[in-house]
């Protein structure tokens, strides 16, 4: 998403509010963009920064071609400062450095913009330093705080920002966009159930690793039904070599979770909700193997395995325990 038109297609209210502010030259000194991952926070902040600096706008649309637009796009504009977490948090020293930078005159204009990603990760000291910075706003300074958890940000900071609440992306719209980008309807449906981030969704859709992951998940369910005594062998020889990293393992469990949810949908004749639309025959077989109660229990066990991974339980142990529960 690089234009206000793009943003308006998924966040119409926010796009309208910001373009109206630009048209009236009433850009706020501080914005808080809050919304789940993939709702467009970074894209909106990028377009807003371009609109502030671009000297060749068409209405409020940045030209995308001038030196200012190009450097903002590449992250190299001298008067646009990005702050991202240093490790797991944004530290006081990062805010102090930002304040120091803002004491200098702008290199090419007196306008300055700073964008703080994952603002909820500011330490208490960093938050207090930022609060002091916000309490004395410059007319030519615009702050943008991006967060998926605004409640973790000091209320005194929130009160000094114009809050822009971003709506979750509609799965049907995302599925349509993915199909327009060339993904099959079955892949688009599956991927839109895993993420509402269009960029991440496209990366997944063109990733051979993911295509193989999908096959392995379905194969595991077949082994559990037809040859349960070989399930552990399958986990060690097929599953673990493919899902090597914790994040990959979480993705595999997400797919397994969707599969068992589809079995539940089969039980209640809710075919419209089924995600694995190309495997309906296999789902029918699975619904004959696992009872409704067993399927519900399986969903709970998968969620438990995901929690164990987050708690640093060894992935192989978590998967083996899950497999024992799924066998019957």
pLDDT value of position 109: 73
* Residue in 27, 2, 30 with CA at minimum distance from that of residue 17: 27
pLDDT at 135: 86
Over its C-alpha atoms, the chain yields an Rg (Å, rounded) of 24
Nearest to 239 by CA among 271, 262, 215: 215
Count Cα neighbours of 142 within 13 Å in the Cβ-side half-sphere: 23
Contact 90, 57 (CB under 8 A): no
Q: Which residues pair with 165 in a beta bridge?
A: 34
Count of residues in the chain: 328
Sheet with 112-116: list strands edge to edge.
80-83, 112-116, 141-147, 30-34, 162-165
Alpha-carbon distance of 144 to 113, in angstroms, equals 8
Give the pLDDT confidence score for residue 136 in this predicted structure.
81
CATH homologous superfamily for 4-165? P-loop containing nucleotide triphosphate hydrolases (3.40.50.300)
Q: Which residues sit opposite 141 in a β-bridge?
A: 112
As assigned by CATH, the class of the 207-326 domain is: mainly alpha
Nearest by Cα to 45 from 65, 60, 31, 58: 31
Distance CA 244, CA 255 (A): 16
Q: Cα dihedral angle (295, 301, 302, 305), rounded to 10 degrees?
A: -170
Q: pLDDT 10s digit of each residue in the chain, 328 long?
A: 789 998 998 899 999 999 999 999 999 999 999 998 778 899 999 999 999 999 999 999 999 999 999 999 999 999 999 999 998 899 999 999 998 888 776 666 788 999 999 999 999 999 999 998 898 877 789 999 999 999 999 999 999 999 999 988 778 888 988 998 899 999 999 999 998 777 789 999 999 999 999 999 999 999 999 999 999 999 999 999 999 999 999 999 999 999 999 999 999 989 899 999 999 999 999 999 999 999 999 999 999 999 999 888 999 999 999 999 998 6
Q: What is the pLDDT of residue 42?
A: 94
Nearest-CA neighbor of 1 among 38, 54, 55?
A: 38
Q: What is the DSSP code string of 60-86?
A: TB--S-SHHHHHHHHT--TTEEEE--B
Alpha helices in the chain, H assignment, sequence order: 4-10, 12-23, 41-53, 67-74, 92-102, 124-135, 155-158, 171-180, 185-194, 198-205, 208-226, 231-234, 240-242, 246-267, 280-289, 292-310, 315-326
Domain boundaries, the chain: 4-165, 207-326
Long-range CB contacts (< 8 A, 24+ apart) of 55-62? 59/19, 59/23, 60/4, 60/19, 60/22, 60/23, 61/3, 61/4, 61/5, 62/3
């Amino acid at each position: 998403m690089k234009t206000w038109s793009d943003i308006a297609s998924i966040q119409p209210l926010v796009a309208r509010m910001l373009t109206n502010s630009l048209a009236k030259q009433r850009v706020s000194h501080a914005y808080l963009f809050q919304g789940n991952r993939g709702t467009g926070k970074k894209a909106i902040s990028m377009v807003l920064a371009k609109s502030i600096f671009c000297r060749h706008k068409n209405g409020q649309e940045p030209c995308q071609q001038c030196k200012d637009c190009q450097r903002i796009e590449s992250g190299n504009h001298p008067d646009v400062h990005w702050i991202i977490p240093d490790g797991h948090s944004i530290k006081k020293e990062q805010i102090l450095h930002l304040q120091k930078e803002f004491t200098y005159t702008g290199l090419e204009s007196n306008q300055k913009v700073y964008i703080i990603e994952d603002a909820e990760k500011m330490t208490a000291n960093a938050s207090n330093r930022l609060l002091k910075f916000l309490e004395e706003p410059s007319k030519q300074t615009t702050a943008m705080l991006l967060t998926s958890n605004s409640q973790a940000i000091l209320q005194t900071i929130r009160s000094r920002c114009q809050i822009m609440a971003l709506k979750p992306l509609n799965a049907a719209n995302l599925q349509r966009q993915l199909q327009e980008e060339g993904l099959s309807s079955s892949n688009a449906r599956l991927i839109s159930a895993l993420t509402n981030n269009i960029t991440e969704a496209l990366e997944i859709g063109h990733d051979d690793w993911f295509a193989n992951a999908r096959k392995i998940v379905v194969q595991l369910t077949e082994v559990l039904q037809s040859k349960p005594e070989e399930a552990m062998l399958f986990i060690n020889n097929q599953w673990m070599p493919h899902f090597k990293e914790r994040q990959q393992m979480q993705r595999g469990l997400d797919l397994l979770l969707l599969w068992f949810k589809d079995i539940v949908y089969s039980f209640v004749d809710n075919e419209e909700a089924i995600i694995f639309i190309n495997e309906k025959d296999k789902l029918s077989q699975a619904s004959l193997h696992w009872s409704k109660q067993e399927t519900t229990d399986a969903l709970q066990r998968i969620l438990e395995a995901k929690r164990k991974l987050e708690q640093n339980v060894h992935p192989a142990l978590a998967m083996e325990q899950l497999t024992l529960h799924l066998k019957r």
